[in-house]
């Protein structure tokens, strides 16, 4: 190959200073050189980094690329296959066996029915915030509890278990970086889910897990499926709520436009999803040699797909680094594409479309309670990007 290829060594660990919503400069720079760059994985193995919208989408739609964890060629030791039921890391036909029985539970219609519940949950969180008064940490008072309560209802977690379960899952998916604590939280969550599955088998109620007990999935598989729903659905939504609020506060004209016209909520949510792309990147491994963007991806090579830069591709979205809640952002890849495209996307949309306008409507003077540069951001190395806390304040009525 005569022509030189841009190369990136391991994923960058920082965002551009003062630009907490933009992809790391190395990734934007790589995209400027072309949609595909040579890449060195964390463990030193050679791979490819794909930053262009069309190529990311093409890989996601191509069955010659696998999601199986044991095929990820990124470290110098073999990775174990996903435990039973954890279908995010499987290919067809296993993937469809797990996903199909769930699809009916996540349709647009089913999610519309949930809207009223999401409204009630949001109102309760906002009431509590208002009663406690400013300042508040938006993460603990708003962004985490809303998706956590929704997922508890979806999985049918009994009311009396919710407090303990929410603490448990927060340790599991809330960005914990200590490996030992993470493993302990993972094991405890698995144990609780095993009990929950047994309870639903014995006494089914109206929820996803009970419904799945009617499928041919084993208890172990059901536990794995429930774990995927938690792992994929909680932290992502929570960070979209908190980082989305931060982005709106940093773009006051956009915030004012949304506040003035709540009918813009659907577009605003799609644009925030595109702009922030909190689930930043995923990997796939080529099952055979594949020609892509003029390069050959050899069988067994793992490619990193940057959903964030794909969603900032100037060839797909005009002026991509500007947050513009009026633009038509549909077609963004914030929920992925292809067979693994986010199962919970309609639920996430309902939560965001309800909660964000409700928050800014309730507190017309909402503002950061610390300078923007002091907001505690997650490190770029976290799987899901976001904030650890978001101190906010607002004016209260003089009594």
Binding site for ligand HEM (CB under 6 A): 67, 87-88, 99, 151, 228-229, 232-233, 236-237, 240, 278-279, 282, 334-336, 340, 342-344, 347-348
Q: C-alpha angle 159/161/165, rounded to 5°?
A: 120
- What are the φ and ψ backbone dihedral angles of 175, each rounded to 5 degrees? 90, 15
And the tokens for 373? 């540069």
Q: What one-character-per-residue DSSP string does 70-89 give?
A: GG---SSSPPPPPPTT-GGG
Spatial separation of the C-alpha atoms in residues 41 and 8, rounded to whole Å: 9
CB of 4 to ligand HEM, least distance (A): 30
CB of 97 to ligand HEM, least distance (A): 11
- Closest residue to bound ligand HEM by CB: 344
Of the two residues 217 and 342, which places its CB atom closer to ligand HEM in the complex?
342
CB of 360 to ligand HEM, least distance (A): 18
CB of 99 to ligand HEM, least distance (A): 5
CB of 93 to ligand HEM, least distance (A): 13
CB of 375 to ligand HEM, least distance (A): 19
CB of 366 to ligand HEM, least distance (A): 21
And the tokens for 15? 């965002």
Question: What single DSSP character describes residue 143?
Answer: I
Q: Which positions ≥6 away from 317 have C-beta within 8 Å?
A: 53, 274, 311, 327, 329, 332
| Helix, strand, coil % in the chain, rounded to nearest 5 | 50, 10, 40
In whole angstroms, how far apart are CA 255 and each of 244, 357, 386? 10, 10, 19
Of the two residues 356 and 368, which places its CB atom closer to ligand HEM in the complex?
356
Of the two residues 234 and 249, which places its CB atom closer to ligand HEM in the complex?
234
Of the two residues 99 and 295, which places its CB atom closer to ligand HEM in the complex?
99
Ranges assigned E (strand) in the chain: 7-9, 36-40, 46-50, 65-66, 136-137, 281-286, 290-292, 295-297, 302-306, 367-368, 391-393
Of the two residues 123 and 345, which places its CB atom closer to ligand HEM in the complex?
345
The SS3 of residue 215 is: coil
CB of 194 to ligand HEM, least distance (A): 19
Of the two residues 220 and 383, which places its CB atom closer to ligand HEM in the complex?
383
**Between β-strands 46-50 and 36-40, what pairing exists: parallel, antiparallel or unpaired?**
antiparallel
CB of 348 to ligand HEM, least distance (A): 4
Of the two residues 110 and 367, which places its CB atom closer to ligand HEM in the complex?
110
Spatial separation of the C-alpha atoms in residues 51 and 29, rounded to whole Å: 10
Spatial separation of the C-alpha atoms in residues 51 and 6, rounded to whole Å: 12
Of the two residues 31 and 346, which places its CB atom closer to ligand HEM in the complex?
346
CB of 232 to ligand HEM, least distance (A): 3
CB of 344 to ligand HEM, least distance (A): 2
Of the two residues 4 and 51, which places its CB atom closer to ligand HEM in the complex?
51
The label of the residue with tokens 């904030």 reads: 387
Q: C-alpha angle 121/127/132, rounded to 5°?
A: 130
Of the two residues 229 and 255, which places its CB atom closer to ligand HEM in the complex?
229
CA-nearest of 291, 278, 285, 331 to 304 is 285
Of the two residues 278 and 286, which places its CB atom closer to ligand HEM in the complex?
278
Spatial separation of the C-alpha atoms in residues 113 and 355, rounded to whole Å: 16
Spatial separation of the C-alpha atoms in residues 146 and 352, rounded to whole Å: 10
Longest Cα–Cα distance in the chain = 75
């Amino acid at each position: 190959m005569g022509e030189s290829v841009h190369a990136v060594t391991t994923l960058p660990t920082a965002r551009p200073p003062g630009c907490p919503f933009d992809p790391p400069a190395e990734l934007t720079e790589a995209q400027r050189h072309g949609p595909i760059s040579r890449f060195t994985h964390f463990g030193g193995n050679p791979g490819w980094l794909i930053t262009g919208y069309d190529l990311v989408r093409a890989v996601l739609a191509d069955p010659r690329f696998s999601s199986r964890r044991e095929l990820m060629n990124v470290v110098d030791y073999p990775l174990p296959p996903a435990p039973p039921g954890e279908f995010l890391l499987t290919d067809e036909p296993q993937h469809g066996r797990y996903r199909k029985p769930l699809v009916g539970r996540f349709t647009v219609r089913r999610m519309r029915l949930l809207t009223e519940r999401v409204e009630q949950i949001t109102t309760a969180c906002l009431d509590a915030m208002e009663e406690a008064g400013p300042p508040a940490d938006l993460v603990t008072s708003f962004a985490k509890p809303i998706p956590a309560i929704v997922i508890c209802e979806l999985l049918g977690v009994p009311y009396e278990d919710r407090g303990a379960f929410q603490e448990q899952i927060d340790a599991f998916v809330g960005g914990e970086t200590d490996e030992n604590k993470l493993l302990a939280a993972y094991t405890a969550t698995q144990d609780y889910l095993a009990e929950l599955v047994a309870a639903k088998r014995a006494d089914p109620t109206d929820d996803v897990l009970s419904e799945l007990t009617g499928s041919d999935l084993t208890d172990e598989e059901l536990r794995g499926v429930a774990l995927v729903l938690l792992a994929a659905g909680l932290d992502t939504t929570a960070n979209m709520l908190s980082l989305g609020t931060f982005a709106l506060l940093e773009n006051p004209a956009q915030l004012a436009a949304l506040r003035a016209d709540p009918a813009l909520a659907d577009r605003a949510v799609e644009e925030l999803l595109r702009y922030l792309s909190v689930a930043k990147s995923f990997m796939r491994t080529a099952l055979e040699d594949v020609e892509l963007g003029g390069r050959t991806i050899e069988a067994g090579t793992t490619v990193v797909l940057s959903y964030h830069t794909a969603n900032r591709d100037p060839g797909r979205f005009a002026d991509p680094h500007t947050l513009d809640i009026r633009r038509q952002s549909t077609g963004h890849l914030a929920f992925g594409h292809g067979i693994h495209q986010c199962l919970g996307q309609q639920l996430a949309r309902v939560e965001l479309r309800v909660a964000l306008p409700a928050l800014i409507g309730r507190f017309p003077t909402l503002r950061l309670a610390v300078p923007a540069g002091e907001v505690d951001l997650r490190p770029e190395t976290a799987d899901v990007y976001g904030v650890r806390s978001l101190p906010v304040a607002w004016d209260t009525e003089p009594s």
